[in-house]
Structure 1
Amino acid sequence: MRRETELDAVRGIAALIVMFFHFWLIVPDGWKTHAYVTHMMGVSLTPEMLFHFTPLRLLVSGSGAVGLFFVLSGYVLSLSVARQRMTSYGRFIVRRIFRIYLPFAIVVLFSAALLPLVKTAPLHGVSDWFANEPWSVYPTEQVVAGHLLMIGTIPLISLDNPMWSLIIEMRVSLIFPILFILMEKYRNETLACVTAAYFCSSIFLNRLGENPPTTFMHSVIFTFEYLPLFVVGILFYQFRDRIGGFYGSTRPVIRNVIMPLAVLLLGTPTIGPENAVGIMKNLIWIVCTTIGSVSMICIAINNEKIRSFLQKSHMQGLGHISYSLYLSHMVVLLVMAYTLLDHMSLWRWGALSLPVCVMVAAVCFWFVESPCMRAGYWLTRRRYLKPELAG
């Protein structure tokens, strides 16, 4: 099995979409609802309408991008586990801790150190969400410990808001090898259990109105609302040859029109389980995200032109820094907001923020993420194996 480097670029695109989504959340509500184009076919067009009910929605669909991350993780981790059959459970977990948790912990500690130095006055000219939720809790020892322990409740994600999805990623990683084996040996039974766990958790949390959760136990239950997406990634791995054959044998109209349209489902206007919007809407979201994610991965792997583009050096570079970009961009936005927004307009600040976020992500990759990954591989190396078997 070749290493499918095009999926690294897909992950990079998803990280960019999450960043654009947070830019969108920062924009004041008054600007979003202002009609900049009027009397167009009898309808007044607002940015809110354009970014919710047109294909532009995909550019700010942070929830869909996170869903794509989870499906990708299920698929890529399946490839990893399948390639290295000799890998022990402990070895897998150590590598995941060094890959996910250590860079996360370092960025959270940086955020905790920067908050008292930078947040000296309230923010103005931004949305209520950005002014009140990120960095909303002073980083006491208990708060920092709660973040590092990945408790996952609302106050304990304020130092780096995207961390809620990393908590889910880390928790699922702890059980992923077991889940993979169960899907290989008892696929139907495992699918039934995962489906039941999804519906039970969704019904329970929505009736409480606790999405996102407010206690650690509810945060653990919340994880099961996203578990089906990882299972979809495993299923894609198990049926990847059939899916590739189906893609290659279908009519051009399906490959060139229907599947790209299916990708747009990642931008469905409904929002995911991280917001209390109702059981049926959450179900619609996860179905749309599943179809959109599978279509995106299938196109990236099997469409020669798309695959060739995703394998270009600049796209691969974006893929390499995708995790660092996802992890650090909110901290960068907060620092820049508290230091620069009093001295420049929101639009000039936004234009400056994009390249700065990318540059900081590159620095984070080279000096934080990459050393952590190398350390994880060094600690779990097997000296008695031949190099070609050591992975």
Structure 2
Amino acid sequence: MRRETELDAVRGIAALIVMFFHFWLIIPDEWKSHAYITHMAGISITPEILFHFTPLRLLVSGSGAVGLFFVLSGYVLSLSVARQRMASYGRFVIRRIFRIYLPFVVVILFSASLLPLVKTAPLHGVSQWFANEPWSVYPTEQVIMGHLMMIGTVPLVSLDSPIWSLIIEMRVSLIFPILFILMEKYRSETLTGVVAAYFFSNIFLNRLGENPPTTFMHSILFTFEYLPLFVVGILFYQFREQIRGFYGSTWPVIRNIALPLAVLLLGTPTIGPENAVGIMKNLIWIVCTIVGSCAVICIALHNEKISLYLQKSHMQGLGHISYSLYLSHMVVLLVMAYTLLHHMSLWEWGMLALPTCCVVAMVCFWLVESPCMKAGYWLTRRRYLKPGLVG
């Protein structure tokens, strides 16, 4: 099985969308609701309408991009587990720890060290969310340990708010080989269990109004609300040949119209399970995210023109730094906001912040992420005896 590098580029695009989403959240609410374009066909058009109810929604669909991340992880990890069937569970987990957790630790400690130095005055001219939520808790020893232990409750993601999804990714990684085997041997029973766990956690947490969770046990339940997305990735792997054949033999109208329209479902104008918006809305979100994510993967792998474009060097470069970009961009935005927003406009700051986030992500990749991955592979490499020593 070849490494499907197209999906690396897809992951990079999803990381960019998450960053754009946080840029969107930083903009003050009154700016979003101001009618810059008025009375077009009798309708007052605002940025909020454009980025909420049109295809532009995809550019700032953070929850859809995170859902795509989870489906991609299910598919790519299935490739990895299938390729290394004789590898031990411990080997798989060690590599995931070095791949996800160690860069996570570095960025959290970096954020905790910068907060007392940089946050010297309140932010003005930004949204209430950005002024009050990120860096809302002083990094005491207890707070830092809560982040490093991946507790996942509301105050213990404040040092780097996107880490709530990385906590879910790490937890699912710990059970993924078992989940993969269960899906191979007892697919129907496993799917039934996953769906039951989803509905139980969804109903329970929404009744409490606790999405995002406020206790560790509720945080564990919160993980089950995203488990179906990983399972869909496994299913896509298991039926990959059938999907490839279907794509090649299906009508052009499906390939050229239906699948691109399905991608738009990732921008469904609602909120994912990370906010308590209701059981039915969460269900609609996860169904739309599943369909949209599968359409993205199918197009990336089987549309020849798009596949070739995703394999170009600049797209592969974006894919390589995708995790570092996702992990570090909020810390960069916070540092730049507290140091520069008192001296320049929000728009000037935004034009500077975007390339800065990408540059920092590249530095983070080369100095942190890549060495961690190499260390994980070195630690779990297979050792062979020299032929002269055998016997």
Name the % identity: 85
- Report the number of matched residues: 386
Q: Corresponding residue for 1:389?
A: none
Cα deviations by residue, 1:142-176 (Å, 9 ceiling, x for unpaired): 00000000000000000000000000000000000
Q: Corresponding residue for 1:180?
A: 180
Cα deviations by residue, 1:285-342 (Å, 9 ceiling, x for unpaired): 0000000000000000000000000000000000000000000000000000000000
Q: Corresponding residue for 2:259?
A: 259
CA deviation after TM superposition for structure 1 residue 251, in Å? 1.0
Runs of 4+ in 1 over 6 A off after TM superposition: none
DSSP-derived class of the 2:120 partner: coil
CA deviation after TM superposition for structure 1 residue 2, in Å? 1.0
Q: Corresponding residue for 1:133?
A: 133
CA deviation after TM superposition for structure 1 residue 384, in Å? 2.1
Q: Corresponding residue for 1:45?
A: 45
Cα deviations by residue, 1:235-257 (Å, 9 ceiling, x for unpaired): 00000010111111111111011
- Which amino acid in structure 1 is aligned with residue 133 of structure 2? E
Cα deviations by residue, 1:61-120 (Å, 9 ceiling, x for unpaired): 000000000000000000000001111000000000000000001000000000000000
DSSP-derived class of the 2:39 partner: strand
Q: Corresponding residue for 1:276?
A: 276
Unaligned runs of 5+ in 2: 387-391
Question: Quick one: distance in 2 between partners of 1:308 and 1:187?
Answer: 34
Unaligned runs of 5+ in 1: 387-391
2:212 aligned with 1:212, yes or no? yes
- Which amino acid in structure 1 is aligned with residue 11 of structure 2? R
Question: Quick one: distance in 2 between partners of 1:284 and 1:249?
Answer: 30
Query: Within 5 Å, which residues of 2 pair with 1:49-198?
Result: 49-198=49-198
Question: Quick one: distance in 1 between partners of 2:243 and 2:165?
Answer: 28
TM-score, structure 2 normalization? 0.98
CA deviation after TM superposition for structure 1 residue 385, in Å? 8.1
Question: Quick one: distance in 2 between partners of 1:278 and 1:357?
Answer: 34
DSSP-derived class of the 1:126 partner: coil
Question: Quick one: distance in 2 between partners of 1:177 and 1:26?
Answer: 39
DSSP-derived class of the 2:69 partner: helix
Q: Corresponding residue for 1:323?
A: 323
Q: Corresponding residue for 2:343?
A: 343
Question: Quick one: distance in 2 between partners of 1:95 and 1:143?
Answer: 27
Question: Quick one: distance in 2 between partners of 1:45 and 1:209?
Answer: 33
Query: Within 5 Å, which residues of 2 pair with 1:289-304?
Result: 289-304=289-304
Question: Quick one: distance in 1 between partners of 2:36 and 2:117?
Answer: 39
- Which amino acid in structure 1 is aligned with residue 243 of structure 2? I
Question: Quick one: distance in 1 between partners of 2:340 and 2:38?
Answer: 33
Q: Corresponding residue for 1:332?
A: 332
CA deviation after TM superposition for structure 1 residue 39, in Å? 1.0
- Which amino acid in structure 2 is aligned with residue 122 of structure 1? P
DSSP-derived class of the 2:48 partner: helix
Question: Quick one: distance in 1 between partners of 2:40 and 2:272?
Answer: 32
Question: Quick one: distance in 2 between partners of 1:353 and 1:139?
Answer: 24
